[in-house]
Structure 1
């Protein structure tokens, strides 16, 4: 399961904004590893550099030196709309003359196909296969000349999840969709302000956290400071998986530290599904905190029985079939001396398709574990996500096809316990109405097409391969 993207923006005269953006994106690398990019403005010209790959692989001192200016936005991508190729790397540069802008987006627009058809019929040409370009073209299509009004026009036409940073020649803008599906926060740094998907990015560059950007809010940041433009909202729908899995444990969302919330999930699991065992293992790294929470509450000692290769999946060299067959062995290596003849509680953040979990359990048994009791920090996932998570179709979700006893048998566990929805909400410590819980309940915050095609926009345009430019 993958989140869509990480975004960042900074307005800071006198600061090396390209370098600040680089380190912020480095902190947000977990939100997307397909491509990365930085766009800057010096008040006269917008510059852009983006490539496929990790932040640390893409940018050099020479590249950052050429990205001068006092405003910047940056993006790490994991694709949920559009294929993984250079054409879709963000930020995008769009427009021309006084209408030039750069945009970076985290989320997923559920009415993107309809908007694409409408804008195409009006003569707008799309060069990528992402919904981010649709947001940009929608902004540029507005009849208003004021940028805030143009952004508000687009916001009112868009359906779905969209946290965005937008940059003109002289102003940084940030917007968050009216449901607040994806996180976005505001911070202050010497000489200016920053916005980021997560507060951990602020910590990495020495910025002070100010507050969350509210659902439906637009911020304009320039030489006059920060100006906020809000609108009434009917409900909130923050993705609950930001707390369970996506966001870094050292980030804060809605005043809650993610590490503490995940530890509380483990504690709730121990209360709901106690078992006699010798040690508790949290699947690294996403369930480490939950494993500690389970251990503390149950009195069963925690242990590090699985060692994770943290560079797995970060190479473009594909394994041959023999290495593919090893599967999880490439990602996790069990410690036999820790596991042998032990009854193990294995804590994980979720079970989605049910492809990885059986392999992990087999690894533990092969390393000598006598019993393996599976505990999951989320309720059974029975419905797909359409708001910026590349999860699975409903037919691929194991909990949509099997009962809990059937899943237990399939994964090869001695027992299986999923955290209840009330237990999850209690652990998070925020009102249930703050969240989108559709993956558990099937109750979506917006009407959705139940089988959306991730590559629909690319299919319409034949996956053309030209990057949007200032003259587009």
Structure 2
């Protein structure tokens, strides 16, 4: 899609030396080297954030029993994976039997190295010295900040919800003894938190805590085999380590891991489940399985839904072209159902650095850097261009222009494997105001949808010959979960939490005040 930035990703790993047993295939032979699995796991979740990467490890025989390392850049850049000696030097300092890790995209705060995660909170008592990493967004961030600052002499160095989370945990630990009741801590936090939060926490006692919010907005997978436990935002990092049985941590549950084993318990009841449908459509690795639903099969079913609605005349000069890479499964399935060729008419340059792309001034130049249309494939063709979603439209407008100008396509019919994005996300996706979105400007149906006429007007705006979105009811069918188990706020305007609904209503009110459409409010403003 090129416009919508990914969320963050968390990872955790621990060696349980209380039990000897069969280890997963990629587990290190020496328990103290377990921490070095983290960069490998983060590399498998690079799709979830390219701004920064970091880890915290525990080692009982280090002076600093918790050690944190984090840098700006991709996982390979941060951990110097292309320089063996420098990577080994980093790992020598970071080795230990337990660790947590994080890849970041900034939905809250800026791009400074100090905002990279994990955050470490030092303390003289080992049970209260911990590091924490976080995936999601606390929707009631401002209320939590005001509440925390009113508690006494708290000071916030960084204006982020991760720091709020860290201090909130510290506050709950103040009355705890040497043995922390983590279930009680997160139960109390859940009564105050609104939003999405997956948490991995490592204490200086060697305890690892992995928690998922009561609605399960973000995916979180766990696995244990023999002496090794691991958790990650997706199943792929765990599968690639060699785990044969991978589960999703149930919403409102946490896992506490230490030398005595793994204890999973519920810390909060959820009124419902609200898994973010965008994980299956766009964010997650296509090889992942989240909450028992395959990402690949979900995207393939989206393509079948598109095929069912297709009415453009088809002949020998009609082809289906995916926008790489996340739309490929949908495009292939659509083409198969229509008995049309699915061809790669757009090649993506996967070796351009993030900084190089971001340093380019205009959107059209960025598109030219990122995608190369193939006139050998596109010239003179009627192209059904399949995209996973359209958010702000700037990339798509430039892409359609390039396919027609450089590729020589005769017709371009844009097919979107998602309903129109009509509302912001306040749970960790980089689309926080309606003013950023293209679909609300063309919406003409009750609830914010687009009629066929409105979709045609938007097609003209983008330079395409036609445009079709999927209907909202196609999402639950494709993912394989009931609509009541999905968060689809960005396509319905109906939010699963009170603070999210309140922010949306405030944003709509702001738009009515600002006639130029510049209204709207972000969760962290």
TM above 0.5, yes or no, is: yes
1:191 aligns with 2:191: no
Q: Distance in 2 between matches of 1:428 and 1:318?
A: 33
Distance 1:232 1:193 in 2: 25
Once the two structures are TM-superposed, the CA of residue 319 in structure 1 deviates from its matched residue by: 3.9
Counterpart residue number, 1:443 = 494
C-alpha change, 1:117 and 1:378, in structure 2 (3 Å) is same
Deviation at 1:392, TM superposition (A): 4.5
Q: Which ranges of structure 2 fall in alignment gaps of 5 or more residues?
A: 18-29, 80-86, 443-453, 505-519
Which secondary structure state, in structure 1, belongs to the residue aligned with residue 106 of structure 2? Answer: coil
Q: CA deviation at 1:415?
A: 1.5
Offset of residue 316 of structure 1: 5.2
Match of 1:79 in 2: 106
Match of 2:338 among 274, 277, 298: 298
Match in the other structure for 1:382 = 422
1:172-191 maps to which residues of 2 (within 5 A)? 172-191=208-227
Mapped pair 1:158 → 2:193? yes
User: What is aligned with 1:7?
Assistant: 10
Q: How does 1:210-359 map to 2 (within 5 A)?
A: 210-230=246-266, 231-277=268-314, 278-312=318-352, 314-315=354-355, 319=359, 321=361, 325-359=364-398
1:125 matched residue in structure 2: 155
Deviation at 1:311, TM superposition (A): 3.3
Taking the aligned partners of 1:138 and 1:211, their CA distance within structure 2 comes to 28
- SS of the equivalent of 2:222 reads strand
Cα 1:311/1:454, change in 2 over 3 Å:
farther
Give the count of matched residue pairs. 455
User: Cα deviations across residues 157-197 of structure 1 (Å, max 9, x unaligned)?
Assistant: 11100011011122110111111100001112452200100
- Could you tell which deviates more after superposition, 154-163 or 172-181? 154-163
* Contact 1:383–1:441 (Cα < 8 Å) also in 2: yes
TM-score by length of 2: 0.84
Aligned to 2:480: 429
Instruction: Tell me how large the CA RMSD over aligned residues is.
Output: 1.7
Aligned counterpart, 2:166: 136
**C-alpha distance in 1 between matches for 2:415 and 2:363:** 27
Q: C-alpha displacement at 1:105, in angstroms?
A: 0.3
Contact 2:235 2:246 in 1 (8 A): no
Give CA-to-partner distance per residue, 1:396-442, whole Å, 9 cap, x none: 21111113222111011111110111122211111111110110110
The answer (yes or no) to whether the contact 2:238–2:246 under 8 Å persists in 1 is: no
Give the structure-1-normalised TM-score. 0.93
Is the counterpart of residue 94 in structure 1 residue 124 in structure 2? no
1:25 aligns with 2:42: yes
Offset, 1:325? 4.5
Equivalent residues in 2 for 1:380-419, closer than 5 Å: 380-402=420-442, 403-419=454-470
Structure 2 residue aligned with 1:41: 58
Asked if structure 2 preserves the Cα contact closer than 8 Å seen for 1:40 and 1:71, the reply is yes
Comparing 363-372 with 377-386, greater Cα deviation is found at 363-372
Return the alpha-carbon distance in structure 1 between the equivalents of residues 357 and 6 of structure 2: 23
The separation in 1 between residues aligned to 2:96 and 2:130, in whole angstroms, is: 15
Residue 80 of structure 1: SS of its match in structure 2?
Answer: coil
Higher relative contact order (CA 8 A, sep 6+): 1
